[in-house]
A = this chain, B = another copy of it.
């Protein structure tokens, strides 16, 4: 039997779940799982259903629209395998993890292309059978470089853009165009270190744990909605280099988990936060 996914969000009011589930019942559909959350700050309602049965999609969405407030977000069966483009620079750990999972069909996504501003990662990408595009930022204005990068990105019409340690700034117009569809890894520590060489800063500060954050990119750099965060314990015997390597392990794990949540349609963005129906 087919399993379906239904995502709905709207301002909260009484009777929403009753209205939705009645429509599902009247269509002879069988609920398998409900995940629901009302954000207290915005009083906004989020719900994710999985259900089984035979669906006439247009009819179901029309009937749901009929019982829900105007402007309600209704998504029935989002594309199950996302099209993505990966941007990278020269660190291999996040990219190669994506390539391997993709190769074995466990990424829930098609990697349409890897685009990098340096050539180093071309070899592994090619070995894994994915097109690699090197677009250097050298001898170009930032504007020209970005325009070239995103023209290439858009040529693949991706659902999501994944920044796998892509070390260039992305300007607001491109962020806006891919709103909540660009996913980044941030090397965030306790306390958070900004600026260049965060692992050197972490080493100098003598931290006892280091972490990483996967988030959607918004115009406030590294301040977008957090998807997932993990940490790893370190101690005084870790050099700055050893901390960087430990950080890479965490970055890879965090990105893999964040992409799983996003590509399985488990993530809503609410204001500057996420609701994750894991």
B237 to A37, Cβ gap below 8 A? yes
A18 to B24, Cβ gap below 8 A? yes
A191 sits at the interface (CB 8 A): yes
Partner of A209, one of B129, B229, B270: B229
What 0/1 readout, one digit per residue, does chain A (24-42) give for beta carbons within 8 Å of chain B? 1100111111111111110
User: A208 to nearest B CB, angstroms?
Assistant: 4
A276 sits at the interface (CB 8 A): yes
B190 to A208, Cβ gap below 8 A? no
Residues of B contacting A39 in the complex (Cβ-Cβ under 8 angstroms):
236
A77 sits at the interface (CB 8 A): no
Give the number of times this chain occurs in the complex, counting copies: 4
A25 to B14, Cβ gap below 8 A? yes
B17 to A276, Cβ gap below 8 A? no
In residues 1-53 of chain A, which contact B (Cβ within 8 Å)? 14-19, 21-22, 24-25, 28-41, 47
CA distance A135 to B228 in the complex (A): 42
A86 sits at the interface (CB 8 A): no
Partner of A273, one of B211, B236, B278: B236
A184 sits at the interface (CB 8 A): no
A262 sits at the interface (CB 8 A): no
Residues of B contacting A228 in the complex (Cβ-Cβ under 8 angstroms):
208
User: A210 to nearest B CB, angstroms?
Assistant: 10
Interface size class of A (residues with CB under 8 A): 35 or more
Q: Across the interface, name the chain B residue whose C-beta is closest to A245.
A: B106
CA distance A205 to B226 in the complex (A): 8
In residues 113-165 of chain A, which contact B (Cβ within 8 Å)? 124, 127-129
Q: Across the interface, name the chain B residue whose C-beta is closest to A230.
A: B209
In residues 171-230 of chain A, which contact B (Cβ within 8 Å)? 188-192, 204-209, 211, 213, 225-230
B206 to A190, Cβ gap below 8 A? no
With A15-B25, A30-B14, A278-B235 as contacts: A100 and B104 at CB distance below 8 Å: no
**Contacts A14-B30, A235-B276 known; 8 new A-B pairs at CB < 8 A:** A18-B24, A21-B21, A33-B37, A100-B100, A190-B190, A190-B231, A191-B192, A208-B227
22 A-B interface contacts by CB (under 8 A): A16-B31, A17-B31, A19-B25, A21-B21, A32-B38, A33-B36, A33-B237, A34-B34, A34-B47, A39-B236, A41-B204, A96-B100, A189-B190, A191-B191, A204-B273, A205-B272, A206-B225, A207-B226, A209-B230, A236-B273, A236-B275, A237-B278
Q: State the 10 A-B residue pairs at the shortest beta-carbon distance, nearest first.
A: A206-B273, A191-B192, A18-B21, A18-B25, A15-B25, A208-B229, A34-B36, A96-B100, A236-B275, A17-B21
